[in-house]
Amino acid sequence: MRILTLSLVVALALGTGVAVAQAGSTLAAAQAASPAAGTGSSGAGVAIVAEAGTPAPSPMPSPVSIIHIKNFAYVPDSVTIPAGSTVKFVEDDAVPHTVTASDGSFDSGNLNQKQTWTHTFAKVGTYAYYCTYHTYMKGKIVIVP
C-alpha cells in the first residue's frame, strides 16, 4: 500500500511535464518506479516514457509570467521559471521595441505601444535577449526543470 502510494506520487510528478526536457532522467525514474509498482502500474511507466520522446502539450495549464517593456528597460529584466512556462511581454513605451534572442531562437519583431507578445519556453536553459533598436536594453530568462 505504501509502495503503491509512493509510485503514484512519482507518476504524478512526472506527469506534470516539467521533466520532459530531460528524457534520460525521466526514463531512469520510470524504470525505478516500475518494479516497485508491480504489474498493475507498469502501464503508467510505459506511457510516461512514450510522452518523453515527443513535445506533447502539458495537461496542466502553463503559468504565464509578464514582463513589461517600460522606460527603455525590461521589467523585471531577469526571471527564473520552469520549462513549459509562457512569458508575455507588454510594450508600455511610446517608442517601438523588440524582444530578440541573442542566439536567434526567438524574435518578437517590432512591438508598438500597448502591443503584447508571448513565447513559450519548452527547454531548460538561459535565454538572453535584447532590443534590436536599443541594444543596451537587455534581459534574461532562465528556464529550470
For the beta carbon of residue 97, count every other beta carbon within 10 angstroms. 26
The CA distance from 141 to 50, in Å, is: 29
Q: Is 134 in the site for Cu ion (CB under 5 A)?
A: yes
Contact 118, 109 (CB under 8 A): no
Identify which of residues 39 and 135 has a Cβ nearer to Cu ion in the complex.
135
Peptide bond into 55 cis (omega under 30): no
Write down the least CB distance from residue 137 to Cu ion, Å. Answer: 5
The secondary structure element, H or E, covering residue 119 is: strand 116-121
x-marked contacts with Cu ion along 8-47 as a string, rule CB under 5 A: ----------------------------------------
Give min distance, CB of 48 to Cu ion, in A.
Answer: 43
* CA distance linking residue 122 with residue 48, whole number of Å: 17
Q: Could you say whether residue 133 binds Cu ion (CB under 5 A)?
A: yes
Q: Which of 19, 30, 131, 141 binds Cu ion (CB under 5 A)?
A: 131
97 makes contact with Cu ion (CB under 5 A): yes
